[in-house]
Amino acid sequence: MKPPSPAEVGETLRRYVPMDIPALPGRTNHLRAAVVIPLLWRDEIEVVLTVRTTRLRQHAGEVCFPGGRPDPGDTSEEQTALREAHEELGIEDANVLGVLSKMPVFTSDHRITPIVAQIQDVPLQPNPDEVAEVITLSVDEVLRRPALEGLPWQTDQGRMYSPVFHLGPHRMYGATAHSFVELLGVLAPLYGTSVPPYAESPLRWADILPPGFAPADYVPARERGSIRPAAGSEPSDASSGRTGTHPGPWRPLLPRPTRSAAIPDPVEHRSSPA
Query: What whole-number distance in Å separates Cα of residue 65 and Cα of residue 88?
Result: 10
Name the band, by pLDDT with cuts 50, 70 and 90, for residue 232: very low
pLDDT at 62: 84
**DSSP string spanning 46-77?**
EEEEEEEPTTSSSSTT-EE-SEEPPPTT--SH
Query: What whole-number distance in Å separates Cα of residue 213 and Cα of residue 66?
Result: 24
- Classify strands 45-52 and 31-41 as parallel, antiparallel or unpaired: antiparallel
Q: Which overall architecture, per CATH, does domain 6-267 show?
A: Alpha-Beta Complex (3.90)
Name the band, by pLDDT with cuts 50, 70 and 90, for residue 26: confident
Residue 29 one-letter amino acid:
N
Residue 255, preceding bond cis, omega within 30 degrees? yes
> Does residue 124 contact residue 44 with C-beta atoms inside 8 Å?
no
pLDDT at 1: 79
Q: What percent of the chain has pLDDT over 90?
A: 54
pLDDT of 6 strictly over 90: yes
pLDDT at 57: 59
pTM over cut 0.85: no
pLDDT of 172 strictly over 60: yes
Q: Where are the domains of the chain?
A: 6-267
Q: What are phi and psi of 149, to 5 degrees?
A: -80, 130
Q: What percent of the chain has pLDDT over 70?
A: 73
pLDDT of 29 strictly over 60: yes
Three-state SS at 166: strand
Summarize the confidence of residues 34-45 as an average pLDDT: 97
Higher per-residue confidence, 245 vs 55: 55
pLDDT at 84: 95
Name the band, by pLDDT with cuts 50, 70 and 90, for residue 27: confident
Of the candidates 251, 267, 257, 253, the residue with the CA atom closest to the CA atom of residue 200:
257
> Does residue 176 contact residue 167 with C-beta atoms inside 8 Å?
no
